[in-house]
């Protein structure tokens, strides 16, 4: 099964987690690849996913790139470009037909605008994929996670699980308590707590992806 990977915000580690998932799945014999429909700013995220996917062509993995480090809507306006959501959906479908397991990484958070009336959440809905939510483990994470889960479910999609990503070496009290509280606040499973610098994933998470 393919998955859509979103974040509670920008810079929470979506690409890092997606890259780890791809590498771990491929090491376990799964033909897993990444797909970044749209990127803004530098193209590092797309490059990392293309390399992790067996050195695929970056234009296949990341069909639309805007040079400005802004939300897609703002970047397109600044660069006088037009984004056609149907082309993003079509690019995914053509890509997925040639691949095994595809992990689609969104841009920023769940409601980042792609056009004036089309958001990352709409793209996920059109792709009709279960969603994995990546959150930076920090103060405020519980609020952002619970709001994001509700928004995903309100869109009629399944939130398949949460991945907490540790962005710092040292852990404070909110970081320590977030994991335990999440398990009591939502039925959505916590799939993994990625420690800062961790370069592997729990085999149970890999089995979860393979068996879904």
Q: Average pLDDT, stretch 94-100?
A: 96
pLDDT tens, position by position, 139-181 = 999 999 999 999 999 999 999 999 999 998 878 898 999 998 9
Could you list the residue range(s) of the whole structural domain that residue 110 is in?
Answer: 3-211
> Cα separation of 124 and 41, whole Å?
21
How confident is the model at residue 212, as a pLDDT? 83
Whether the CA torsion 112, 16, 157, 159 is positive or negative: it is negative
Question: Does the structure show a pLDDT above 90 at 183?
Answer: no
Query: To which residue do tokens 């296949």 refer?
Result: 60
Give me 193's structure tokens.
């707590």
> Cα separation of 115 and 161, whole Å?
27
Question: Does the structure show a pLDDT above 90 at 86?
Answer: yes
How confident is the model at residue 200, as a pLDDT? 86
How confident is the model at residue 177, as a pLDDT? 94
Give every CB contact of residue 155 below 8 A, 6+ residues apart in sequence. Answer: 121, 124, 125
Q: Is 36 a catalytic site residue?
A: yes
Q: Is 190 left (phi over 0), alpha (psi -120 to 50) or beta?
A: beta
pTM given for the model: 0.96
- The CATH number of whichever domain residue 56 belongs to comes to 3.40.50.300
The total number of structural domains that make up the chain: 1
> Cα separation of 14 and 5, whole Å?
7
> Cα separation of 122 and 120, whole Å?
5
Out of 14, 19, 36, 155, the active site residue is 36
Beta bridge partners of 158: none
Q: Average pLDDT, stretch 55-84?
A: 97
Q: Is 18 left (phi over 0), alpha (psi -120 to 50) or beta?
A: alpha
């Amino acid at each position: 099964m393919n998955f859509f990977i979103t974040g509670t915000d920008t810079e929470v580690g979506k690409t890092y987690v997606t890259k780890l998932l791809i590498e771990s799945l491929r090491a376990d014999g799964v033909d897993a690849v990444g797909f970044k429909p749209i990127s803004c700013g530098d193209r590092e995220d797309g490059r990392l996913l293309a390399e992790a996917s067996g050195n695929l062509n970056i234009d296949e993995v990341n069909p639309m790139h805007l040079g400005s480090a802004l939300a897609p809507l703002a970047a397109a306006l600044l660069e006088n470009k037009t984004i056609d959501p149907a082309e993003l959906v079509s690019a995914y479908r053509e890509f997925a037909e040639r691949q095994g397991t595809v992990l689609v990484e969104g841009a920023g958070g769940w409601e980042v605008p792609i056009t004036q009336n089309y958001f990352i959440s709409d793209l996920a809905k059109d792709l009709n994929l279960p969603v994995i939510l990546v959150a930076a483990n920090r103060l405020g994470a519980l609020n952002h996670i619970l709001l994001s889960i509700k928004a995903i479910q309100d869109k009629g999609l399944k939130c398949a699980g949460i991945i907490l990503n540790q962005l710092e070496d040292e852990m404070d009290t909110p970081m320590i308590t977030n994991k335990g509280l999440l398990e009591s606040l939502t039925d959505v499973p916590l799939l993994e707590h990625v420690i800062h610098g961790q370069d592997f994933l729990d085999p149970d998470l890999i089995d979860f992806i393979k068996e879904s």
